[in-house]
Amino acid sequence: MKAYAYLRVSGKGQAEGDGFTRQEEDIRRYARKNRIEIVQVFKEEGVSGTKGEADRPAFQEMVSEILKNGVKTVIVEGLDRLAREYRIQETLIVYLASKNIELLSARTEENVTEAVMSDPMRKALVQIQGVFSELEKNLLVRKLRVARERKRKETGKCEGRKSYQEAMPEVVREIKRLRRKKKAMPRMPYTKIADELNRQGLKTMTGKEWTGVLVQSLLR
């Protein structure tokens, strides 16, 4: 099993002392004992134990990573490192459980999520939180879809990668200038234009050198 470690200290003195070190050592000791791989450590520095998830940048980053890569377990040294106040502990535990994230305590070796889910009242809170999370997600998806449709009607384009004209208009102007036919002279070949752009140190949108084929495609 894989897991994240979550560490928190409320003051700078604790961060400079052994606060983080002690917590990480306890978590890793517990992880080794239970054959759990710690894939990343998130450190919440200078955040009071009375703060909720909205005021915890490392906590938010950790949840974001969990939702992206499928690692569904978090280990803390103890619940007091999650939060000092019981009310905040409860809120954070319910928040994690509603997203199917399992919380383990290294100090007590307890599966906190299982304990929560075994209590009918707390389980109901988790389920209610999950319903509102899903509702919030659906409302956000709908809001974004409406915004995309409105922008598409206004501009004719909404999604997808930006064109060179949108992202690098000055380069497009330079290409057109070089390609423009001069009196009594042939147009500059696409490969020569690419060579000139490279000579000027101009890069493509992907950071690569220009080629005649790419120059030609932009002028079509």
The predicted structure's pLDDT at residue 133: 46
Radius of gyration, CA atoms only, the chain: 27
Buried b (16+ CB within 10 A) or exposed e, 54-65: eebebbeebbee
Q: How many CA atoms lie within 13 A of 72 on its CB side?
A: 9
Question: Alpha-carbon distance 82 to 95, whole Å?
Answer: 12
Contact 196, 215 (CB under 8 A): no
Kind and range of the H or E element at 74? Answer: strand 73-76
Q: Write out the chain's pLDDT in tens, 220 residues.
A: 999 999 988 865 554 557 899 999 999 999 999 999 999 999 988 777 677 767 788 888 898 888 888 789 999 998 888 887 777 888 888 888 888 889 999 988 888 888 877 777 666 654 554 454 455 556 666 766 776 677 677 666 555 566 787 788 888 888 888 888 777 788 888 889 999 998 888 888 888 888 988 888 888 7
**Tokens standing for residue 203:** 């890069």
Please report which residue ranges of the chain form alpha helices under DSSP H.
12-16, 19-33, 57-69, 79-82, 86-98, 112-117, 120-155, 164-167, 169-179, 190-199, 212-218
Q: Is 170 exposed, middle or buried (0-12, 13-18, 19+ CB in 10 A)?
A: exposed
pLDDT in tens, 193-218: 999 998 888 888 888 888 988 888 88
Strand order in 110-111's β-sheet? 37-45, 2-9, 73-76, 102-105, 110-111
User: Residue with structure tokens 């979550």?
Assistant: 6
3-class SS at 82?
Answer: helix
Strand partners, 45: 9
